[in-house]
């Protein structure tokens, strides 16, 4: 086992407090939130059972918490009110607060307004003369 894997391998939880495994070496029966969601499940209030540690190239440590698949509950179905609230939230993300235009994509959060409002085309003297004549 390599040095990077040795740092992450702690099945007893003595070093990290909970059982810790390297990337792709967690035991069967455990899954992350995303893996549970892909199967139509959710953690359902159960505590974290273990974790997967990954050390990146930059020396940072990334953690993914693991839950028991056997204790997971099915995902709650979306109600019509939840669908409506989600549709309104997405409409708000696609509408520019300054000009009021609704786009087919979400406006950039970094700008807070649409690109056309954030960067209006500067008028040149030649175009101003064309409109005044």
pLDDT for res 63: 92
pLDDT for res 16: 81
Instruction: Please tell me whether residues 109 and 87 are part of one structural domain.
Output: yes
pLDDT for res 128: 56
pLDDT for res 9: 82
pLDDT for res 51: 94
- Name the pTM for this structure: 0.65
Instruction: Please tell me whether residues 92 and 50 are part of one structural domain.
Output: no
- Reported for 90-98, long-range contacts at CB under 8 A and 24+ positions apart, including other chains, are none
pLDDT for res 42: 96
Instruction: Please tell me whether residues 52 and 101 are part of one structural domain.
Output: no
pLDDT tens for each residue of the chain, 133 residues long: 556 667 778 888 788 889 999 888 889 999 999 999 999 999 999 999 999 988 888 888 899 999 999 999 999 999 999 999 999 999 999 999 999 999 999 999 999 999 999 998 876 665 555 555 5
pLDDT for res 118: 92
Instruction: Please tell me whether residues 63 and 90 are part of one structural domain.
Output: no
Domain boundary among 47, 74, 101: 74
Instruction: Please tell me whether residues 91 and 67 are part of one structural domain.
Output: no
> Which domain covers residue 41, as residue numbers?
3-74
pLDDT for res 66: 96
In angstroms, the CA 32 to CA 117 distance is 41
């Amino acid at each position: 086992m390599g040095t990077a894997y040795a740092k992450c391998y702690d099945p007893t939880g003595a070093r990290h407090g909970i059982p810790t495994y390297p990337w792709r070496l967690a035991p069967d029966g455990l899954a992350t939130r995303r893996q549970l969601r892909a199967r139509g499940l959710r953690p359902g209030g159960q505590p974290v059972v273990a974790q997967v540690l990954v050390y990146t190239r930059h020396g940072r440590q990334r953690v993914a918490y693991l839950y028991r698949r056997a204790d997971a509950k099915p995902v709650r179905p979306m109600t019509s009110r939840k669908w409506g609230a989600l549709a309104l939230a997405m409409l708000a993300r696609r509408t520019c607060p300054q000009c009021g235009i609704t786009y087919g994509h979400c406006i950039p959060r970094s700008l807070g307004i649409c690109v056309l409002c954030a960067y209006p085309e500067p008028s040149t003297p030649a175009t101003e003369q064309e409109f005044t004549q």
